[in-house]
């Protein structure tokens, strides 16, 4: 997969050299390129923004600078992703869909955002998704780009060493949060580990994990419980 990230703060993306994403890059599984938007400016001050039409506080990113950059980076296969607090929610389902694509281009806005004509223009040429990480406002799209690259890259075949670790995690196919996990020592700070996990009884462990995942999801994310499909529940689930 190829991913291009465009930002006026390319240094913000430095963590993408580390850990699993860094390894995916050096091994060639991920061709990730970070670009400085100002490289596409033509004036002495390398200007990327201007005052908003209609007035108001803050600055808006100019469509002409973004247009020059994106005309160069977007090919036929590319999917343009624009992080913005007014976008559609980015979820594990979004990450799964994006992991099946060949080329993503992330356009990181700053200030009050990117002139709306940029998304409109590229939507008539190809795929464009404006997405939000959640209901809060960040200073720009860079952190969102880090999130997308990490969430997508770990789903690419070969990036996570043991693919089984992708199976039972929160927001997986079951639509539940993950059950609590424990390791050694068996007693810490006066706290033990649930007996069932030390029992070696695989069926009981699986049942306990399912029950605690459901309880946790009900307590922390009732919105997810509402979205569960009845056919995915068994008699024991329904008795909880």
Interface with ligand ADE (CB under 6 A):
83-85, 132-134, 136-138, 141, 144
Least distance to ligand ADE, CB of residue 151, Å: 13
Which residue number places its CB atom closest to ligand ADE?
A: 83
Least distance to ligand ADE, CB of residue 71, Å: 23
Of residues 15 and 134, the one with the C-beta less far from ligand ADE = 134
Least distance to ligand ADE, CB of residue 81, Å: 10
Least distance to ligand ADE, CB of residue 141, Å: 5
Q: What secondary structure, in 3-state letters, does the chain show?
A: CEEEEEECCHHHHHHHHCHHHHHHHHCCCCEEEEEEHHHHCCCCCCCCEECCCCCCCCCEECHHHHHHHHHHHCCCCEEEEEEEEEEEECCHHHHHHHHCCCEEEEECCCCCCECCHHHHHHHCCCEEEEEECCCCCCCCCHHHHHHHHHHHHCCCCCCCCCHHHHCCCCCCCCCCCCCCCCCCCCCECCECCCHHHHCCCHHHHHHHHHHHHHHHHHHHCHHHHHCCCHHHCCHHHHHC
């Amino acid at each position: 997969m190829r991913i291009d990230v465009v930002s006026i703060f390319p240094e913000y993306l430095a963590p993408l050299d580390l850990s699993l994403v860094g390894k995916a890059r050096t091994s060639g599984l991920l061709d990730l390129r970070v670009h400085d938007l100002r490289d596409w400016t033509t004036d002495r001050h390398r200007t990327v923004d201007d005052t908003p039409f209609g007035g108001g506080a803050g600055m808006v990113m100019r469509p002409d600078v973004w247009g020059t950059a994106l005309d160069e980076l977007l090919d036929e296969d590319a999917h343009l992703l624009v992080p913005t607090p007014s976008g559609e929610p980015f979820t594990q389902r979004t990450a799964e869909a994006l992991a099946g694509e060949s080329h993503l281009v992330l356009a990181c806005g700053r200030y009050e955002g990117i002139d709306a004509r940029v998304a409109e223009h590229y939507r008539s040429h190809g795929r464009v998704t404006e997405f939000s990480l959640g209901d809060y406002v960040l200073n720009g799209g860079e952190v969102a780009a880090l999130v997308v690259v990490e969430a997508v890259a770990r789903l690419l075949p070969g990036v996570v060493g043991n693919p089984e670790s992708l199976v039972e995690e929160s927001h997986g196919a079951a639509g539940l949060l993950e059950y609590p996990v424990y390791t050694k020592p068996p007693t810490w700070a006066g706290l033990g580990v649930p007996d069932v996990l030390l029992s070696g009884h695989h069926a009981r462990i699986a049942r306990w994990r399912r029950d605690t995942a459901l309880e946790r999801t009900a307590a922390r994310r009732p919105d997810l419980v509402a979205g569960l499909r009845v056919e995915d529940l068994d008699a024991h689930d329904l008795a909880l």
